[in-house]
C-alpha cells in the first residue's frame, strides 16, 4: 500500500472508530497498517488498547507479543506469551516466541527444544531451521549447525538469511568452497552488510585468492570505514600481494579509526616492519 493510500485508509478507519468505538475490527486494521508502515510504537499502543477492551482477542495478543519481542520488550512479551500458550498451545508462532524468550533468558536447551517442536509442526518454515542452526553454531556444534542451516535453504531457496551463519559453520568445517557460495548467496540480498563482505574476503583469502579478497575487504570498508578487522586484513592482503604503500595506508587507517588496542598494537607492529611506523 502506497504511503498516501495508507494515510487515507488510517484516516477513514479513525473516522469509523470514532463513530463506533466498540468496533474492534477497525482498531485491528489501524494497528495492522501502522505496523506495516513501521509505526511500531503506535501499533503496540493500539494493540494494547484493543486488549483492554477485549482480553480474549488472541490474534491481537499474538501480534502484540511479536512486536514486543521485535522491540526487546521482554517483560510484556513474556506476559502475553504466557497467556497465549495456554489457549494456543500448538500455534507455531506462539512456540517460536517462547523459544525466542528462552534464548533471551540464556536457556539455549529450552530454546532448542521449542524450536524442534515448531519444526515438527511446520517443517516448511525456514526461520525455525535457521534458529536451530544458530543455537548449534553458538554451542560449537558445527556439523549440526550446518545441517539445520542447509535445511533452512531447502525449505525456501529464496530465504537467504541463513546463509551468513551457514558460511560461519562451513568455515569451521573447512568446507571453504561451500562457504563461499553461502556468503555470495547471502550478499545477493544483503548488499549493505559489511560483515558479509568481510567474511567472504576471509574465505577467499584462506583459499589463496588474495586479490579477490582485497575487493571484498574494500567493499566492507566502503560501508563501514572504521571496520578495524577489515582494515587490518586488507593491510595484510596488500602485504601478501607486495603492495607495500597501500598496506601502510591500510594500517594507518586502523590507527585512525579504531580504539581497539589489539588492532592498534598489531597495526603499529606491521607499520614498524614496513618502515612506516
Q: In this predicted model, what pLDDT tens digit does every residue of 66-82 receive, in sequence order?
A: 999 999 999 999 999 99
- In tens, the pLDDT along 115-171 reads 999 999 999 999 999 999 999 999 999 999 999 999 999 999 999 999 999 999 999
| Long-range Cβ pairs for the range 54-59 (8 Å, 24+) | 54/24, 57/24, 57/28, 58/84, 58/87, 58/88, 59/28
Q: Which CATH superfamily is domain 210-277 in?
A: Tetratricopeptide repeat domain (1.25.40.10)
SS (H, E, C) 140-178: CCHHHHHHHHHHHHHHCCCCCCHHHHHHHHHHHCCCHHH
- In tens, the pLDDT along 247-277 reads 999 999 999 999 999 999 999 999 999 985 5
- pLDDT of res. 71: 96
CB of 132 closer than 8 Å to CB of 116: yes
Q: Please give the mean pLDDT across all residues of the chain.
A: 92
Average pLDDT over residues 215-223: 97
CB neighbours (10 Å) of residue 275? 8
- Confirm whether pTM is higher than 0.75: yes
Cell numbers that stand for 27 in this block = 482498531
Domain boundaries, given as residue ranges, for the chain: 210-277
Transcribe 28-66 into DSSP letters. HHHHHHHHHTT-HHHHHHHHHHHHHH-TT-HHHHHHHHH
Average pLDDT over residues 30-45: 91
Q: What is the torsion angle, in degrees rounded to the nearest 10, for the CA atoms of residue 212, residue 215, residue 219 and residue 220?
A: 60
- pLDDT of res. 27: 81
- pLDDT of res. 5: 60
| Model confidence band, residue 29 (pLDDT cutoffs 50, 70, 90) | confident
- pLDDT of res. 4: 58
- pLDDT of res. 26: 81
Note the maximum CA span of the chain.
Answer: 78
- In tens, the pLDDT along 224-249 reads 999 999 999 999 999 999 999 999 99
Amino acid at each position: 500500500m502506497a504511503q498516501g493510500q495508507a494515510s487515507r485508509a488510517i484516516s477513514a478507519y479513525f473516522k469509523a472508530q470514532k463513530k463506533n468505538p466498540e468496533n474492534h475490527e477497525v482498531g485491528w486494521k489501524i494497528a495492522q497498517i501502522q505496523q506495516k508502515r513501521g509505526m511500531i510504537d503506535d501499533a503496540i499502543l493500539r494493540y494494547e488498547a484493543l486488549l483492554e477492551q477485549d482480553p480474549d482477542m488472541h490474534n491481537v495478543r499474538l501480534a502484540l507479543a511479536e512486536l514486543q519481542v521485535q522491540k526487546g520488550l521482554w517483560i510484556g512479551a513474556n506476559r502475553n506469551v504466557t497467556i497465549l500458550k495456554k489457549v494456543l498451545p500448538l500455534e507455531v508462532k506462539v512456540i517460536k516466541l517462547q523459544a525466542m524468550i528462552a534464548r533471551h533468558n540464556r536457556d539455549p536447551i529450552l530454546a532448542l527444544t521449542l524450536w524442534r517442536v515448531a519444526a515438527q509442526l511446520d517443517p516448511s518454515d525456514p526461520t525455525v531451521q535457521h534458529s536451530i542452526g544458530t543455537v548449534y553454531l553458538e554451542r560449537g556444534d558445527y556439523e549440526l549447525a550446518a545441517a539445520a542451516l542447509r535445511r533452512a535453504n531447502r525449505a525456501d531457496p529464496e530465504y537467504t538469511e541463513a546463509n551468513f551463519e551457514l558460511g560461519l559453520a562451513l568455515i569451521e568445517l573447512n568446507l571453504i568452497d561451500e562457504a563461499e557460495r553461502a556468503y555470495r548467496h547471502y550478499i545477493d540480498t544483503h548488499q549493505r552488510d559489511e560483515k558479509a563482505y568481510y567474511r567472504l574476503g576471509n574465505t577467499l583469502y584462506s583459499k589463496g585468492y588474495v586479490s579477490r579478497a582485497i575487493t571484498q575487504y574494500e567493499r566492507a570498508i566502503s560501508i563501514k570505514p572504521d571496520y578495524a578487522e577489515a582494515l587490518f586484513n586488507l593491510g595484510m592482503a596488500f602485504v601478501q600481494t607486495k603492495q607495500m604503500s597501500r598496506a601502510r595506508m591500510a594500517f594507518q587507517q586502523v590507527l585512525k579509526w579504531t580504539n581497539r588496542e589489539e588492532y592498534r598494537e598489531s597495526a603499529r607492529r606491521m607499520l614498524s616492519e614496513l618502515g612506516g611506523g
